[in-house]
Amino acid sequence: MDILFIADPLDHFKIYKDTTYAMMAEAARRGHALYACEPQHLAWTGNAVEANVRRIEIIGDEADSDRSPWFSAAEPENLPLAKFGAVLMRKDPPFDLEYVNATWLLEMAERAGARVFNKPQAIRDHSEKLAIAEWPQFVAPTLVTRDPARLRAFHAEHGDAILKPLDGMGGMGVFRVKADGMNLGSIIEMLSENGARMVMAQKFIPEISDGDKRILVIGGEPVPYSLARIPQGSEVRGNLAAGGLGRAQPLTARDREIAETLGPVLKARGLLLAGLDAIGDYLTEVNVTSPTCFREIMDQTGFDVAGMFIDALERAVG
C-alpha cells in the first residue's frame, strides 16, 4: 500500500521520540511504500486535490535513534491524493486557518476517493479543549468564557484554578492561579486579549503531581498503557514540551472507563487515533490532530503501539 504522510518537515523530526516516525518505520517494515509532504504542498487543480510529494525510504541502523540523516527521498512529483491507499494527516498544531484550509482540501480529496486519517471533518469538528463537554461525567469543574467577571467568579468559587487558551499546545499559555489570586487580572487580560478571546478555566486537580496522563485510543480501543507526563520542579505543566518527565504505566480502572466510553464514538466519527488527556480521574482534553507518545510507551513497556496503529490502519482501508 502507498501511504502519504502529511507532516512537518522530516529533517526536523527527533526520531527517538517522534510518533510519526514510529508509524513510518512500522509501515515500512511491513512493505508499505512511504510518501511525505507538508500541508503547503497540497493543491486543488480544478479537477483533483493533489500534493507535491516525495517517496521516502528509511535508511541507516534503526537501532541508532539519533542518526542523521534517517531517510532518503526521491525527486518530488505531483500526485492526486486518491492515488494513495491511505493519507495520514500528521501536521502538528497550531490549529489556525491554514490548518482548517488543509482539512477542507482533504475533504475534497475524500470525495474523489482518498482515504484520509484522521477524517478531516472530524479533526475540524473536535476542538481539543472543548470536546470534553460531550462527556461531562468525566470533567472537573470547568468554565469557558471571554467575560473577565465570570473568570474571576470561577476562581473565587474554587480558590485554585488553571487558566489556558483554547488553541494552545504543548502546555503553552497555561497558568495556575492559587487562592491568593496573584496576577489573576493580568493573566485574564493576556489570555482573553482584554475580552476578545475565549479562555478555559478549570478547577486545579492536585493529582497533576502524579502526571498528566496521555491515554491513546486506536481504532476505538485503548492502548493498555498511558504515559504520565510528570511536572518537574516548580512547574505546574506536565507536557513533555514543557519539560515534563514521561512515565509509562498501566491504565487505571477510571482511565479504561474513559477510553472505552469515548473510543467507539470517536472511531465512528473517523478518528482512527485519539489521545485522551486525564489528570487523576478527570478528562481534560481530546487530542485528534497529531497525538503523540508512541515511542515513550513502546520504549518503556515493550508494547507495540505502532504495530497496533498500522493494524488498525490496514483494517480501516480494507
Domain definitions of the chain by residue range: 2-118, 141-204, 207-317
Active site residue 134: no
The CA-to-CA distance between both ends of the chain, in Å, stands at: 11
With a cut of 70, say whether residue 238 has pLDDT above it.
Answer: no
CA separation, residue 196 to residues 147, 152, 207, 218, 266 (Å): 9, 16, 32, 37, 31
Q: For residues 81-88, give the mean pLDDT.
A: 98
The pLDDT tens digits of the residues spanning 99-153 come to 999 999 999 999 999 999 999 999 999 999 999 999 999 999 999 999 999 999 9
Instruction: Round to whole Å and give the CA distance between 162 and 263.
Output: 27
Give the pLDDT confidence score for residue 242 in this predicted structure: 63
pTM: 0.94
Q: Regarding the domain delimited by 2-118, which CATH topology (the fold level of the hierarchy) does it fall under? A: Rossmann fold (3.40.50)
Active site residue 214: yes
Do the beta carbons of residue 298 and residue 224 sit within 8 Å?
Answer: no
CATH number of 207-317: 3.30.470.20
Does the bond joining 287 to the residue before it have cis omega, within 30 degrees of 0? no
The pLDDT tens digits of the residues spanning 164-181 come to 999 877 778 899 999 999
Catalytic residue among 90, 91, 124, 237: 237
With a cut of 70, say whether residue 263 has pLDDT above it.
Answer: yes
Look up residue 278 and give its DSSP letter.
Answer: E
Q: CA Rg, the chain, in Å?
A: 20
Catalytic residue among 18, 50, 285, 296: 285
Give the pLDDT confidence score for residue 20 in this predicted structure: 98
| Owner of C-alpha cell 512515565 | 247
Give the pLDDT confidence score for residue 65 in this predicted structure: 93
With a cut of 80, say whether residue 286 has pLDDT above it.
Answer: yes
Confidence of residue 243 (pLDDT cuts 50, 70, 90): confident
Give the pLDDT confidence score for residue 295 in this predicted structure: 97
Active site residue 164: yes
Three-state DSSP class for residue 170: coil
Catalytic residue among 164, 213, 267, 295: 164
Do the beta carbons of residue 32 and residue 64 sit within 8 Å?
Answer: no
Share of residues in the chain with pLDDT > 90 (%): 91
Give the pLDDT confidence score for residue 244 in this predicted structure: 80
Distance, CA of 252 to chain centre: 21
Instruction: Round to whole Å and give the CA distance between 30 and 1.
Output: 10
> Can you read off the three cell numbers belonging to residue 10?
522530516
Look up residue 310 and give its DSSP letter.
Answer: H
Q: For residues 289-297, give the mean pLDDT.
A: 96
Active site residue 229: yes
Q: What angle do CA 173, 91, 308 make, to 5 degrees?
A: 105
Instruction: Round to whole Å and give the CA distance between 232 and 245.
Output: 7
Three-state DSSP class for residue 11: helix
Catalytic residue among 229, 239, 255, 267: 229
> Can you read off the three cell numbers belonging to residue 214?
496521555
Catalytic residue among 212, 287, 295, 296: 287
Share of residues in the chain with pLDDT > 70 (%): 98
Catalytic residue among 90, 91, 129, 203: 129
With a cut of 80, say whether residue 233 has pLDDT above it.
Answer: no
Active site residue 129: yes
Q: Regarding the domain delimited by 141-204, which CATH topology (the fold level of the hierarchy) does it fall under? A: Dna Ligase; domain 1 (3.30.1490)
Catalytic residue among 26, 50, 277, 296: 277
